[in-house]
A and B are shown apart, each in its own frame.
Chain A
Amino acid sequence: MPLEATMMVIDNSEYMRNGDYQPTRFEAQSDAVNTVFQTKIDSNPENTVGIMTMAGKGPEVLVTHTKDLGQILQALHTASSKIGGQIDIPTSIAIAQLALKHRENKNLRQRIIVFVASPLEGQAADEKSMVKLAKKLKKNNVAVDVVCYGDGIEETTEEDKGVLRAFVESASSGDNSHIISVPPATRLLSDALISSSILSGDRSSSIPAELGGTGDIPAASGSGGANQFEFGVDPSLDPELAMVLRMSMQEAQAREAAEAAASAPPAEPTPAAQTTAAAPSSTPAAAPAEPTDDEEERLLQQALAMSEEDVDMEEGGMDEDEDEEAAIARAIEMSMRPQEEQKDKK
């Protein structure tokens, strides 16, 4: 979704010292804030992001409407030394709304992203007052996203869907507000966030459609589901890697085709034989990657296997430079050969 002014409301209560998210809840949150900031700024250069804390002595706006990563990092650093107290969601949201209202560019839609890792208390636990607040936000065209983790994850039953969920649903107009819960130890908070509905709108605009830029991956999709994608990587998670893998495959295919075409007339069996010989050798290289959570490892193996394949075709050069040199040498050799043949015929 383009053109947005975002206010991130972060939790800096005592609960943030908990180490159930690596390395601590606060550090995990800082990482997530960074991710959100980058995604928002990348999705549209006019977008602005602000940041405020909601615990400590009281809610405090640290940065309003910036496009500068340095300011965000500085704010996070400041906040990291002010961990304490309890969160106050209603007041914080009211302040965030005020900060958004005085944005410079009125064309920007308003959005508040709230990070909650503390149990709800006082007014924030009262569903009625929270729904009332949500209605007020909806009236003022403010979208709200909530990221629950740690103690912020509410226990829900069939009838009771939780105060925060009810809050987000009341504030949503045209499906513009979302809530996600990230339990500890599954994966990084920032990873969960980036593949969630909260950022899907911003990601889809920056990713070409052929790489799966629609980005409507449900937040619940775990790491196990990643293998259904080509190369075993979700293109919307890491578009650059997906693009590199795809390009490398296309290059390899093009080279193979060119070689097949070049080797056919002189009836030279070596390259084709080597490719077939290389193929089985590369498969075991990919096989040891066990289906564990670390997809990166797996990807690395796959990319490695692919590049090795290329190398093998070029008569076993181990280095990239050697590979290139070998290719040039071969090209020269090949270009010489027809001339020699012609000379022989003459």
Chain B
Amino acid sequence: MSTTTSADAKERGDVSLLEFLDLSQLDCLNEDSAHTLKSILAQKTRNTSASYLASDADEQLILNIPFNQSVRVRSIVIHGSNPTQAPRAIKLAVNRPTLGFEDVEDAKEPEVAQILSLSQADVMEGRPVALRFVRFQAVNSLHIFVGSNHGDEDTTRIDAIDIFGVPVETTKDLSGLRKQDE
């Protein structure tokens, strides 16, 4: 599993895709009602405040992250400040809005787009983790299943999330339109 630095990402023209989030559809299963996914993504930038996302009944989480247009995802950042509660095994799925725990617990590739094991250092330092770019080409919603954490704790804690990639040019993205020279 190779990791890329943010400098590499910038060279390729990747941007943070958080600005394309559709906040009204944002949803997280098994989140603690006091520490929600919304609290760390509502700013549409990487969370730097004290709020964090925590799991409730057990250590598993499903983060449903919808975008307001199609995007291509190249890498993700999952940052946790507590080493034992940091997420370890994660599965990523694309465009599966009805994903539930029972669908994804035993799922393998290619049923889910990618299965990853995050290292403790990556999570603690918030380093971007490269994804298989070809499998994330027309992402309208990204679903992150967190299966376990590093310390086998009952609660998983995520402090910040960032997603890098490029938006797919569509008519929906009017901000990308420019005047053409005649």
Contacts and interface: CB of A to CB of B under 8 A. Distances in A.
Interface stretch (B23-31, B125-133, B163-171, B172-180): B23-31
B8 to A, nearest CB: 35
Interface residues of A, number: 12
A107 B23 CA distance: 11
A135 B58 contact: yes
Contacts of A102: 98
B98 A140 contact: no
Contacts of B27: 106, 141
Given A138-B56, A173-B56, A107 B24 contact: yes
User: B interface, how many residues as a size bin?
Assistant: 10 to 19
A139 interface: yes
Given A106-B97, A135-B57, A135-B58, A141 B29 contact: yes
Contacts of B29: 139-141
Nearest to B61: A139
Contact of A139 (B24, B25, B58, B98): B58
A101 B56 contact: no
Given A107-B25, A173-B33, A139 B97 contact: no
Interface in B65-119: 97-98, 100-101
Nearest to B31: A141
Contact of B101 (A107, A139, A174): A139
A173 B97 CA distance: 22
Contacts of A101: 98, 100
A102 B97 CA distance: 9
Contact of B57 (A106, A138, A174): A138
B120 interface: no
Interface in A117-152: 135-136, 138-141
Interface of A: 101-102, 106-107, 135-136, 138-141, 173-174
Given A106-B25, A140-B30, A141-B29, 20 more contacts: A101-B98, A101-B100, A102-B98, A106-B27, A106-B97, A135-B57, A135-B58, A138-B30, A138-B57, A139-B30, A139-B56, A139-B58, A139-B60, A140-B100, A140-B101, A141-B27, A141-B30, A173-B33, A173-B56, A173-B57
